[in-house]
Every structure is written in structure tokens, then in C-alpha cells.
Amino acid sequence: MTEPEWLASDRPDELLFHLRHRLDDRDLRRVAAAFCRRAWDPMGQASRDAVEAAERHAAGREPASTLRDAAFAAADVLQEALRTLDIHVARNGHLYHAAYAAAAACWMPGIPIERDPRRGEPEGMLDAAVRAMSHAASAVAIDRVQHHRPVEEMHAMLAEATLDEARAQAEIVRKLFPFRPMRP
């Protein structure tokens, strides 16, 4: 990826993929937590606490045992959000996505994000960070448009709100990790 491509990209997943060999798990956890901060309003307190634990761990101020506890707590919140999810009336999808983003930011190998074994777990922290990105974007977008009616108008607005959030997330990646050419 060239510097002009880097600066023009509205795809945070593309930017993270470009950085995959440069970033370690702490860097990826830090960016996942930053994505979660964008979804702070629809995020419950237990999920916020988990994101803050992920931030402290990424900064080296929290032991893995505390992050593990936060990961289990975030997974519990996600399970409750999934249990009460009502996608047909769009009342609480933003809560589910915010909870998922927090659980992904806290992800550790061996600690499932979801209890449903049919759903795949992250393959590593890059995958977890991309999941945090995607779910945080959905949480922000749904929270922004959920009260609009008719539903067709809401869906069109949701697509635009999701793109807006992706642009904001791409800026986060660029701010945390300025462009550097990759060496062959």
C-alpha cells in the first residue's frame, strides 16, 4: 500500500491488514479498544469496564489475569445481549453490537466470545480487532438511526451511518499508526 492509498482509505480493516506484520497483540488490542470508545454511548457499564481493562492491559498496566476476568465478564454481557436481541423492531441491536465489540477487544485465546460453538472464535488478535471494528461500527450506526421511520428510510440511513463510522475508524488507525512503507 502506498502512502496516498493509506491516506485515502476509508476501510479500517484494509489498514489493519496492511499493518498485520508490524503490530503486536497489544497494539491490536489498543486499536480495538479505541473502536469501542466510539461506541461508548450504547455500551453498558460492564462492557465499558471490560474495555478499560483491555486498554490498561494493552498499556502494560494490567496483568493477563485481570484481562481474563474482563474477557469472561464481557462474554457474559454479550450472552445477555444476544438473549434479549430483537432484530425485528431494531430496539436493541446497537446494545448487542456494542457488547460484542467490547468482548472482542478483551478476547484471549481459550476464552470464547460467544457460547455458541457453531460461531467461530477469532483466529488471533487481528481477527478480534477486526470484529471489534465491525461491531463497534454497527453499534454506532444503529444507535444513530434507530429512531427514524419509515423502516426503508432507516435502512438507507444505516448504510450511510456505517460508512461514516468506517471513515472515522480509519482515521483512528492512521492516528495510532502513521504510515511507514513496508520493507520487502
Question: Is 183 part of any domain?
Answer: no
Question: Is 14 part of any domain?
Answer: no
Q: What are phi and psi of 116, to 5 degrees?
A: -85, 110
Question: Is 2 part of any domain?
Answer: no
Domain span holding position 26: 20-176
Question: Is 129 part of any domain?
Answer: yes
pLDDT on residue 183: 66
Q: What are phi and psi of 155, to 5 degrees?
A: -65, -40
pLDDT on residue 83: 87
Q: Residue 147 CB: number of other CB atoms within 10 A? A: 8
CA distances from 166 to 57, 88, 171, 181 (A): 25, 24, 9, 23
Name the amino acid, one letter, at 29: R
Q: In 3D, which of 12, 19, 14 has the Cα closest to residue 177? A: 19
Per-residue pLDDT in tens (0 to 9) along the chain, 184 residues: 889 999 999 999 999 999 999 999 999 999 999 999 999 999 999 999 999 999 999 999 999 999 999 999 999 999 999 888 876 655 788 999 999 999 999 999 888 887 666 667 888 899 999 999 999 999 999 988 887 667 778 888 888 999 999 999 999 999 999 988 766 5
* Domain count along the chain: 1
Question: Is 8 part of any domain?
Answer: no
Question: Is 164 part of any domain?
Answer: yes
pLDDT on residue 101: 97
pLDDT on residue 80: 92
Question: Is 13 part of any domain?
Answer: no
Name the amino acid, one letter, at 129: A
Question: Is 10 part of any domain?
Answer: no
